[in-house]
A and B are shown apart, each in its own frame.
Chain A
Amino acid sequence: MVHLTINGQVVQANDGEMLLDVIKRMGIDIPAICQHDAVEPFGSCRLCTVEITKADWDGWKNYVTSCLYPVADGLIVNTHSETVNEIRKTLLDLYLARHPNSLFVRKLAAEHGVTKTSYEEIPDGDDCILCGLCTRICERMGFSAISTVGRGHSKEVAPPLKEAPPDCVGCLACAQCCPTGHIKFSEEGASRSIWGKQFEKIACSKCGKLTITKEFADSLSETRNIPREYFDVCDDCRRKEIALTMGRLAQWSREEETV
């Protein structure tokens, strides 16, 4: 257990926790858009930056990203100091210049009082804010089908060689976690398309409902050691089946009792 002060309030935290965890728990709202509980903190958006100091730092202050900074005893944290607000506003201003068409960015910037960028706008700026959530989620799922390529201002998220990614199983995890909706996919009947790759979904052998892609099922069955047949039935039907079995069991034991 450690004790620290956040915005003037003394709080307790567990060793190894990050500042952001505690800040969120206290109900303090700070933007943290490259952070997701499913993956390790990354530190690319810098919006979660806070000001820290300690009593014995002689007034010296440091600016750190709270998603990555471990809690420590005696830390004095300010989540909304004048400098922190200035940093956040400037970063959002920069975001807005780069992604003027992104609704997500526009909304977030507006919440912090930035409605128009003061920098040179990139008119055809795309929606990808390079938060790296998609690549990290995909890696976490064990696929690493996509990655960032290039560097600096021309960095982008793409499959290898920008061709249909061989390792993608069409799980959609990347698209679902993308905060800006940059990752496009389409569904038509049993087929799904993402990153330029086509997939067929499995139809439940009982009810015919479409579930996950065949590739995803193959991979799960292989890596998690689950029989492949498991995925032939959809979750609903499987639940129903279990319920029926349970029911039969219950009836059977009741019959036993009456005998």
Chain B
Amino acid sequence: MRIDKPAQLTKLRKELVAVEKKHTKKIMICCGPGCLANGAAKIVEEFRKVLKKKHIRGFKIEALKETGCHGFCERGPLVIIEPRGTFYTKVKPKDVEEIINESIRKDETVERLLYDDPSNGHKIERYNDIPFYSHQQRIALRNLGHIDQYKIEDYIVADGYNALVKALTKMKPDEIIAEVTTSGLRGRGGAGFSTGRKWATCAKAEDTPHYVICNGDEGDPGAFMDRSIMEGDPHSVLEGMIIAAYAVGAHEGYIYVREEYPLAIENLKLAIHQATEYGFLGENILGSGFSLTLNVSRGGGAFVCGESSALMKSVAGEVGEPRAKYVRSVLKGFHDKPTVLNNVETYANIPVIIDKGGEWFAGIGTPGSSGTKAFSLVGKVRNTGLIEVPMGTKLREIIYDIGGGILDNRPFKAVQTGGPSGGCLPEEKLDLPVDFDTLTEAYSMMGSGGMIVMDDHTCVVDLAKYFLAFLVEESCGKCVPCREGLFQLHAMVKKISEGQGIEEDIEKMEKLSDVIIKSSLCGLGKSGPNPFLSTVRYFRDEYLAHIRDKKCPAKVCRELIRFDIIADKCDGCTACLSACAFDAITGKKNEVHVIDQDKCTKCGACEAVCTRNAIEVS
């Protein structure tokens, strides 16, 4: 069915809402990346099987929805019964029948699958009452977990394409741009550039044609905000892009998705197909005379391909290598033509801004950074997952209230924000309200929204070494400061981690970092030294301990630690002996075991299996 007039969409929505309302209960199965990895597909299959077998009065199979990431991946696979919001965690196929019996047939709950609050052990039934959710505010992620990721109809029921109608029929392009500018929206892909200003520059550019591109490269290891949006709510991205294209006068656009995200590619293609059928894309959109085609472009998977100039080259079929530019890509971008490039999350915010107004959006967050920001919260927190909070939320709130604190009640050590080339913030920065500017002032950065929490078992030297190794690997190799400079920086951090560093190294590394930042061609090199700079800024003593005392305080750096068996505690259970893959442990059953230091590779396997805490790391 093709929609040519706004009234038709209103009518269609009414009909669809009526159908939805008939479902007195809905089964929402999270099929986001985390839950799929934990077996969500099997759960869907089992539900379908059981529902087919047992006919349940009043329940239609359409009320079973495969949703995108609901957020609380750590507890997945998740099954949510709406409208109550009953939240079932770690569901296994064998639980399915019971869920159907208790929650669908009856109005009961399966107690054992409910969330238990780690602080007091109490069960919480509804997800809205769980602190992980109650401290969040979702705009970009508004539909994730609440609509079927394959159905445009579900998006329409959730007020989808309302903003497009408003934009195309009631607003002029410059009014749209003014609204976006008023909202204060800043790009969510890293640099935090004003989206309204970017659009205005492109719209004004005389050269034609204009293009719109969506950056779905998401190269930060561990980040999955953009992926989740593209998979779970692809229409929000499309709607944002169509509005952008109309505002800047573009008739062709591309969504660049990394190859490792096949489901995102598939769902976006499906969404484009559906939107075209309904007339939201293609020729003469909604009868407005405006036309746009969108294409999905597969990324090569290199981290640097997320950088704007490299990305545009890659979309054009060339090698994804950054181009030196002192002319901005908004004027000379794709095929050297004016191009708006925005991040997935940036686009996903647009429909809401158009719907509710720029003022409304600007009222959320902080004056310099309006709105909300999605983060993938990972690392040593209890509740890992996908979250969205207003800008200005304190790190402490994110880590302790939403994240539930540090795993095993260990002490907090640092939080890394901004992806591999972001920075590490220590305990004294926990009360920092998170936004673009505060993070930068604290020598970290927003990046695209990765957030990795670390406990006292993390060694910052080791951490810097890890991220630098990633960047050395991902440097495109075009320019010398990044290719050779990061290589040498990594080599020096490695030397320190092995106890081979000297104190002068630190100053030398700081100087080298400065040169790399000032002289690299693209953002990768320009932010490349951050893992070293931010850790040495806040944890200088830890570097010095590696250098002066040849000690790794966190007991991580292999060259600086040793494993010993404490004779008094060892009862000769032989567990460590069988765990050691390097034959470094000797000892007879019921006799004290001994580690041969020459053979020990410090893998830590023995420590992990010893139940008597007899293995000491020093």
Contact = CB atoms under 8 A, between A and B. Distances in A.
Interface of A: 41-46, 49, 63-65, 68-70, 83, 86-87, 90-91, 94-95, 97-98, 118-120, 129-130, 132, 147-148, 150-155
B324 A43 contact: yes
A68 B483 contact: no
B519 A87 contact: yes
A95 B326 CA distance: 25
Interface residues of B, number: 32
Q: Which of A45, A91, A148 has its CB near the most chain B CB atoms (within 10 A)?
A: A91
B591 to A, nearest CB: 47
Interface string B471-496: 01111111111011101100110000
B14 interface: no
Interface in B316-331: 319, 324-327
Given A69-B326, A70-B326, A90-B512, A120 B491 contact: yes
A49 B520 CA distance: 10
Contact of A46 (B325, B475, B476, B479): B479
B477 A91 contact: no
Nearest to B490: A153
A157 B169 CA distance: 54
A151 B487 CA distance: 12
Contacts of A86: 511, 515
Contact of A91 (B302, B480, B511): B480
Contacts of A83: 518
Contacts of A65: 324, 521
What are the 4 tightest A-B residue pairs by CB atom distance, in nearest-first order?
Answer: A43-B324, A155-B477, A94-B484, A90-B515
Interface in B505-520: 508, 511-512, 515, 518-520
A91 B324 contact: no
A77 to B, nearest CB: 14
Contacts of B472: 152-153
Interface in B444-501: 472-481, 483-485, 487-488, 491-492
Contact of B479 (A44, A64, A150, A153): A44
Contact of B515 (A68, A91, A98, A150): A91
A243 B479 CA distance: 50
B488 A46 contact: no
A94 B480 CA distance: 8
A64 B326 contact: yes
Contacts of B492: 120
Given A63-B519, A70-B327, A151-B476, 17 more contacts: A45-B479, A46-B479, A46-B480, A64-B326, A65-B324, A68-B326, A86-B515, A87-B515, A91-B480, A95-B480, A97-B488, A120-B488, A147-B319, A151-B302, A152-B473, A153-B472, A153-B483
Contacts of A97: 484, 488
